[in-house]
């Protein structure tokens, strides 16, 4: 199992941002982590990636513990945070080559060219990142997350701020990546989950209120995913 979470909690003083959640994510299937704003999605993503220490519980990626084996875990993980940290004064190609070299990739130049083409940055590759639109900055963020061909991909609100054309292209790209990787995609957008994901977890107020393949969840409730979401997150 590529991702395993057991009784994971994060408390900020008396607030339980994430309250003892457990789940697994399978290779070759895209898991949608769906919830209203403030439900605990980003907090969970940050604990999974080792950027935030849990109050209790464990998370492991490909058998590596997110807290005690952080360095090993980062080699097999790609992460796109909600607000992608980019070096705005660097050029797109220069930045991606810098990222590739931090992973000590062989044929780094060739890999950068492949990824630029894959995420649709060919026309923009010689521009400074600061000059790009939000949609293209998001593509640079996705490019840095997949540059080292990770086994696990964790995407936090990956299509935030994209126009309809960009949205469709990025969704197709994520679906393609999900065929041979374990992908968790955090979002509050229903259509995102419907368009991209195989399985869905619905989280509300730090607790998991649903965890199933989307097809099974719809069959079980006999209503649309949107109606299920409204019912479970009242």
Assigned token pair, 108: 């780094």
Range of the domain at 58: 1-76+152-234
Describe the chain by its helix, strand, coil percentages, rounded to 5. 40, 25, 35
- Confidence class for position 92, pLDDT limits 50, 70, 90: very high
CATH of the domain at 201: 3.40.50.300
Cα(199)–Cα(2) distance, integer angstroms: 15
Assigned token pair, 81: 């945070």
pLDDT digits (tens, 9 = 90+) for 183-215: 999 988 888 899 999 999 999 999 999 999 999
Q: What is the mean pLDDT of the chain?
A: 92
Average pLDDT for 116-126: 93
- CA neighbours within 13 Å on the CB side: how many for 223? 8
Do 23 and 88 share a domain, yes or no? Answer: no
pLDDT digits (tens, 9 = 90+) for 213-234: 999 999 999 999 999 999 999 8
Do 162 and 199 share a domain, yes or no? Answer: yes
Q: Kindly state the greatest CA–CA separation across the chain.
A: 51
Decide which of 115, 149, 183 is a domain's last residue: 149
* 0.95 exceeded by pTM: no
């Amino acid at each position: 199992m590529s991702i395993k979470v057991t009784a994971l909690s994060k408390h900020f003083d008396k607030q339980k941002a994430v309250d003892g959640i457990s789940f697994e994510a399978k290779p070759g299937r895209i898991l949608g982590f769906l919830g209203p704003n403030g439900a605990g999605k980003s907090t969970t993503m940050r604990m999974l990636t080792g950027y935030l220490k849990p109050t209790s519980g464990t998370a492991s990626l490909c058998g590596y513990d997110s807290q005690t084996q952080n360095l090993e875990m980062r080699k097999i993980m790609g992460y796109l945070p909600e607000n992608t940290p980019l070096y705005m004064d660097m050029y797109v190609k220069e930045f991606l080559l810098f990222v590739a070299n931090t992973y000590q990739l062989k044929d780094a130049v060739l890999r950068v060219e492949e990824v630029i083409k894959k995420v649709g940055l060919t026309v923009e590759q010689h521009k400074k990142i600061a000059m790009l639109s939000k949609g293209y900055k998001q593509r640079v963020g996705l490019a840095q997350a997949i540059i080292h061909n990770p086994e696990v991909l964790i995407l936090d609100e990956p299509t935030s701020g994209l126009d309809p054309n960009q949205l469709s292209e990025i969704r197709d790209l994520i679906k393609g990546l999900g065929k041979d990787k374990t992908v968790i995609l955090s979002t509050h957008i229903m259509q995102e989950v419907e368009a991209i994901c195989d399985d869905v977890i619905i989280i509300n107020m730090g607790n998991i209120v649903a965890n199933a393949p989307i097809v099974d969840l719809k069959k079980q409730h006999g209503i649309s995913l949107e109606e299920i979401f409204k019912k479970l997150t009242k």
